[in-house]
């Protein structure tokens, strides 16, 4: 657990640094500088490219998570893993590119009325697909080499810093909007290029042969995992990409922009989960290889309670500061309030189950998770098709909550049925009840000037939450962190 804890803390720190930049960029500056259509353009382009990159990866990330321990051999270039990964990635990109070239005229025509900007810049989407696929394969490679932090640093912090500079350049008139979009697309390649430099420095960017290593049995496993991995990849971005695309289709780019900013606030809850997930994959994979159920159960429970506690802290902080959020944003964004509430609950459900999806996807029953993912994708699409026309962007958020409850609940039940693994204890209930009480207390604080109100309200919530963690011994890891922080403060 030491490696997981250290890299999760580092990854979460980098993610929160990125959150600060993202908050300045997306939540404060963008609504003041760009129209909602312009915001929707970049968000929808990224959403479409992300969906296509998951299809174009041909499920190889799933192969990596499950089978890289068998390839691992640093002295031999990991038996040609990187060569195989690039071959699959290039093949998948060519398939996507052919599909895009054939479909693009129809796509451009269908968006002319509601989303004219998207039609104007549609040909940037294939470029974004390529950059996202390249970063994904390299980030995954770093992850299985037990460096999950670099990708988080580059994607969540460095890329957002670059985009912030682009936003400011547009604001001060150094570039026009067309140049901004071009540079925004090019910026997506920078994290991948930095990872390549890092791997070259470590001597891990090596292309060696793999044919002699891959046995018929290993080939069959890889093909099976790839097929299921495509579905797994789509489900992993179902709530963050498919919904934006569907909001754009039903409501237009303007609402897609408002929805994206509201979802951004709710997605803060998942920051620790993303950092933990990257490093937990190789740990859990190695544990399954040696059938070490004790390690897997420990990862499962600790990831569950820690993610729930941090998620609840962030969620109650957002709810208590909801009025402050909409004091910052322009009036047209007020329709995103219910999106934050419902999408935040969806992310809390996901965070509370810890590493359940990672554990099931790397187990011998990975196919079962794929069936669950198919159900998940169907529910996401169907619920969005019903609820968006009826309730607008709020309907999309409710659809996310319904889909996540079904998917996460079935995954937790599957792990219990197959392996006797269970993440929840009475402490989880205490955490939820305590959070409700803390929110009610915070809501009693009278409204003050914006900055003072945010600081005081947030400080009260953090102190009360810290007291609950210490008083009820909610988490060994968080308690140790708080004790260390208290010792450092007392020294000064």
Residues whose CB is less than 8 angstroms from the CB of residue 216 and which lie 6 or more positions away in sequence, other chains included: none
* Structural domain total, the chain: 1
At 79, is the pLDDT very low, low, confident or very high (cuts 50, 70, 90)? Answer: low
Task: Measure the CA angle with vertex 304, ends 302 and 307; round to 5°.
Answer: 100
Q: Spell out a b/e string for 213-250, using b for 16 or more CB atoms within 10 Å of the CB, else e.
A: bbeeeeeebbebbbebbbbbbbbbebbbbbbbbbbbbb
The answer to whether residue 492 is domain-embedded is no
CB atoms under 10 Å from CB of 429, counted, come to 10
The answer to whether residue 45 is domain-embedded is yes
pLDDT tens-place string over residues 291-343: 888 889 988 888 888 889 989 999 999 999 999 988 888 888 899 999 999 99
The answer to whether residue 412 is domain-embedded is yes
Helix axes 293-320, 476-491, angle to 10 degrees: 60
The answer to whether residue 332 is domain-embedded is yes
Task: Give Dmax (Cα) for the chain.
Answer: 70
- Residue 436 confidence (pLDDT): 94
User: Which residue would you say has higher pLDDT here, 12 or 251?
Assistant: 251
Residues whose CB is less than 8 angstroms from the CB of residue 61 and which lie 6 or more positions away in sequence, other chains included: 136, 137, 140, 229, 233
What is the distance between the terminal CA atoms of the chain, rounded to a whole angstrom?
Answer: 30
pLDDT of 81 > 50? The answer is yes
The answer to whether residue 239 is domain-embedded is yes
- Nearest to residue 159, comparing CAs of 126, 180, 185? 185
- Residue 32 confidence (pLDDT): 85
Residues whose CB is less than 8 angstroms from the CB of residue 199 and which lie 6 or more positions away in sequence, other chains included: 138, 141, 142, 205
The answer to whether residue 388 is domain-embedded is yes
User: Which residue would you say has higher pLDDT here, 292 or 76?
Assistant: 292
- Residue 490 confidence (pLDDT): 62
CA dihedral 252, 40, 394, 308 (to 10 degrees): 160
- Nearest to residue 301, comparing CAs of 114, 474, 88? 474
Look up the domain containing 457 and give its range.
Answer: 2-484
At 248, is the pLDDT very low, low, confident or very high (cuts 50, 70, 90)? Answer: confident
The answer to whether residue 489 is domain-embedded is no
Query: What distance lies between CA 455 and its chain's CA centroid?
Result: 27
Lowest mean pLDDT of 308-322, 357-371, 395-409, name the range.
357-371
Residue range 94-109: mean pLDDT, rounded: 89
DSSP per position, 173-196:
TSS-HHHHHHHHHHHTTHHHHHHH
Residues whose CB is less than 8 angstroms from the CB of residue 389 and which lie 6 or more positions away in sequence, other chains included: 250, 395
- Nearest to residue 262, comparing CAs of 444, 460, 165, 398? 398
The answer to whether residue 491 is domain-embedded is no
% of the chain surpassing 70 pLDDT: 84
- Nearest to residue 259, comparing CAs of 400, 125, 133? 400
| Whole-number Cα distances in Å, 330 to 170, 335, 396, 455 | 19, 11, 21, 21
C-alpha span between 429 and 438 (Å, rounded): 14
C-alpha span between 151 and 18 (Å, rounded): 12
Average pLDDT across the chain, whole number: 84
At 1, is the pLDDT very low, low, confident or very high (cuts 50, 70, 90)? Answer: very low
Q: Is the pTM of this model over 0.85?
A: no
pLDDT of 205 > 80? The answer is no
- Nearest to residue 149, comparing CAs of 352, 5, 297? 5
Residues whose CB is less than 8 angstroms from the CB of residue 70 and which lie 6 or more positions away in sequence, other chains included: 218
For 154, what's the count of Cα atoms within 13 Å in the CB-facing half-sphere? 23
Lowest mean pLDDT of 42-51, 229-238, 240-249, 400-409, name the range.
229-238
pLDDT of 472 > 90? The answer is no
């Amino acid at each position: 657990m030491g490696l997981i804890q250290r890299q999760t803390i580092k990854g979460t720190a980098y993610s929160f640094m990125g959150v600060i930049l993202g908050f300045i960029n997306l939540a404060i500056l963008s609504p003041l500088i760009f129209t909602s259509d312009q915001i929707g353009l970049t968000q929808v382009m990224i959403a479409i490219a992300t969906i296509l990159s998951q299809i174009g990866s041909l499920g190889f990330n799933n192969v990596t998570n499950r089978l890289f321990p068998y390839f691992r051999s640093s002295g031999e270039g990991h038996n040609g893993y990187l060569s195989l990964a690039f071959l699959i990635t290039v093949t998948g990109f060519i398939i996507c590119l052919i599909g895009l070239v054939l479909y693009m005229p129809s796509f451009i025509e269908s968006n002319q009325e509601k989303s004219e900007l998207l039609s104007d810049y549609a040909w940037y989407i294939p470029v974004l697909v390529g950059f996202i696929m390249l970063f994904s394969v390299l980030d995954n490679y770093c992850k299985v080499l037990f460096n999950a932090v670099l990708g988080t640093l580059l994607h969540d912090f460095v890329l957002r810093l670059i985009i912030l500079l682009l936003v400011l350049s547009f604001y001060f008139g150094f570039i026009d909007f067309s140049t901004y979009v071009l540079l925004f697309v090019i910026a997506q390649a920078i994290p991948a290029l930095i990872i390549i430099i890092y791997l070259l420095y470590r001597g891990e960017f090596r292309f060696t042969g793999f044919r002699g290593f891959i046995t018929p049995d290993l080939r069959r496993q890889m093909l099976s995992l790839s097929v299921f991995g495509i579905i797994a990849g789509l489900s992993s971005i179902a709530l963050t990409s498919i919904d934006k695309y569907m909001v754009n289709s039903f409501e237009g780019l303007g609402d897609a922009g408002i929805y994206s900013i509201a979802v951004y606030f709710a997605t803060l809850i998942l920051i620790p989960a993303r950092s933990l997930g990257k490093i937990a994959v190789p740990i859990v994979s190695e544990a399954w290889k040696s059938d070490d159920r004790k390690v897997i159960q420990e990862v499962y429970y600790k990831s569950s309670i820690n993610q729930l506690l941090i998620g609840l802290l962030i969620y109650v902080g957002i709810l208590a500061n909801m009025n402050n959020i909409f004091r910052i944003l322009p009036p047209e964004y007020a329709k995103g309030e219910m999106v934050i509430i419902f999408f935040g609950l969806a992310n809390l459900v996901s965070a509370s189950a810890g590493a359940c999806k990672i554990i099931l996807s790397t187990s011998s029953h990975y196919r079962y998770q794929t069936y669950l993912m198919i159900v998940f994708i169907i529910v996401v699409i169907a619920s969005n098709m019903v609820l968006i026309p009826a309730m607008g962007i709020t309907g999309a958020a409710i659809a996310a909550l319904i889909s996540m409850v079904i998917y996460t609940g079935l995954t937790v039940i599957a792990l219990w049925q197959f392996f006797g693994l269970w993440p929840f204890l009475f402490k989880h209930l205490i955490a939820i009840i305590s959070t409700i009480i803390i929110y009610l207390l915070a809501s009693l604080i009278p409204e003050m000037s914006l900055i003072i109100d945010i600081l005081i309200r947030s400080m009260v919530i953090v102190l009360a939450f810290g007291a609950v963690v210490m008083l009820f011994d909610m988490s060994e890891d968080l308690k140790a962190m708080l004790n260390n922080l208290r010792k450092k403060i007392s020294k000064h």
